[in-house]
């Protein structure tokens, strides 16, 4: 395997001096950070180190990730004129990410690399709210009061997402994952009317690549059926819905991903093992019910204070199962 050109201590020193977004645009850092879970935990695939707002930043939108807050947009999008002023994403603007993917395809060898992008709705939520939001009130207000502008906005963001994913495909990723982190704030009717057509276009535009497409959201138990219709091959399930119930909602012919609660990793080895075995059994039942497969994963991201040793032990247990 070819390794990036800096030692791990050098990366740590470099990382201290730059922010999260800057890290996402440094090819060697992208490679190193993506590789670390492979080296340390022996997981079966790598997920590209990136952030949901990276393509927006690359396109030229003025935003930053503020510690303790999250993505903050300097000039939120509030009307049609703001939508018209949004820049588009050109391939050369994600050259650093493309180079990071190319470094990774060398370093990973036979280990698959999963590409990454935020879904149009979640991107829109950050742009309209100006940052993270608990209630998404400005986002929903635009949806309900001015659906024409809303769909124009999501059309632009869909174009940006497609361009970002196609750049990763051309660079050699083996699968794609579309994150709709905030879709769980919507009813199924609103999801189908205001969001689903745009996610469908993303999946349709990358279908020719012939690689697996994964769709994931948080708190989306009531949306699993609609998300299963959006065009992905794999539907992510958070910890709120058992996999043997999720397959009934998603329908047959799709694989499932998930769904250990990240908080379980703090509960001790017996609890971790019990929950992992339960999920494996539910996955077996889901496959009998029509799921085409199961990717064991957490139901959301690893919590910051998680003991890395617990993750390693979990990976070993899942491999045994």
Rounded Cα gap, residues 199 and 214, in angstroms: 12
- Distance separating alpha carbons of residues 256 and 253, to the nearest angstrom: 10
Q: Is 194 a catalytic residue?
A: no
What is the Cβ-side half-sphere exposure of residue 23, based on CA atoms within 13 angstroms? 21
Catalytic residue among 15, 138, 192, 240: 15
Cα–Cα distance, 193 to 203 (Å, whole number): 17
| CA 39, chain centre distance (Å) | 21
* Residue of 2, 12, 88, 277 with catalytic role: 2
Catalytic residue status for 51: yes
What tokens appear for 129 in the block? 């709210």
Which residues contact residue 282 at a Cβ distance below 8 angstroms, ignoring those fewer than 6 apart? 242, 243, 244
Q: Note if 6 is an active site residue.
A: yes
Which residues fall within 8 angstroms of residue 318, CB to CB, at 6 or more apart? 276, 280, 296
214 phi and psi angles, rounded to 5 deg: -115, 140
Choice among 26, 51, 159, 180 that is catalytic:
51
Side-chain half-sphere exposure of 53, counting CA atoms within 13 A: 23
Beta carbons within 8 Å of 283's beta carbon, 6+ residues apart: 243, 256, 291, 294, 296
CB 71 within 8 A of CB 131: yes
Name the active-site residue from 11, 126, 191, 194.
Answer: 126
Q: Cis peptide before 166, with omega less than 30 degrees from 0? A: no
Own/partner contacts of 269-275, CB < 8 Å, gap of 24 or more, are 269/310, 269/313, 272/310, 272/313, 272/314, 272/317, 273/317
Catalytic residues: 2, 6, 15, 51, 126
């Amino acid at each position: 395997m070819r390794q990036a050109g800096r030692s791990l201590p050098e990366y740590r020193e470099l990382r201290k001096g730059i922010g999260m977004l800057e890290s996402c645009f440094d090819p060697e850092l992208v490679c190193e950070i993506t590789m670390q879970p492979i080296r340390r935990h022996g997981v079966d695939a790598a997920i590209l180190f990136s952030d949901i707002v990276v393509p927006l930043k690359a396109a030229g939108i003025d935003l930053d990730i503020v510690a303790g807050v999250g993505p903050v947009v300097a000039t939120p999008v509030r009307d049609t004129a703001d939508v018209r002023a949004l820049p588009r994403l050109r391939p050369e603007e994600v050259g650093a990410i493309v180079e990071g993917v190319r470094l990774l395809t060398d370093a990973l060898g036979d280990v698959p690399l999963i590409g990454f992008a935020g879904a149009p709705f979640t991107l829109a939520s950050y742009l309209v709210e100006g940052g993270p939001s608990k209630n998404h009130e400005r986002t929903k207000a635009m949806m309900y009061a001015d659906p024409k502008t809303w769909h124009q906005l999501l059309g632009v963001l869909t174009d940006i997402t497609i361009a970002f994913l196609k750049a990763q495909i051309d660079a050699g990723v083996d699968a794609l994952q579309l994150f709709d982190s905030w879709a769980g704030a919507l009813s199924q009717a609103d999801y189908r009317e205001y969001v689903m057509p745009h996610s469908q276009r993303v999946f349709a535009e990358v279908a020719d690549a012939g690689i697996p497409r994964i769709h994931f959201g948080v708190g989306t138990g009531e949306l699993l059926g609609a998300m299963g219709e959006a065009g992905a091959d794999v539907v992510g399930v958070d910890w709120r819905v058992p996999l043997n119930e999720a397959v009934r909602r998603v329908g047959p012919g799709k694989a499932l991903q998930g769904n250990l609660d990240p908080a379980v990793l703090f509960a001790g080895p017996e609890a971790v093992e019990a929950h992992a075995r339960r999920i494996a059994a539910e996955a077996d039942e889901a496959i009998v019910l029509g799921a085409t497969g199961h990717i064991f994963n957490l139901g959301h991201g690893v919590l910051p204070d998680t003991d890395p040793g617990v993750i390693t032990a979990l990976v070993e247990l899942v491999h045994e199962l």
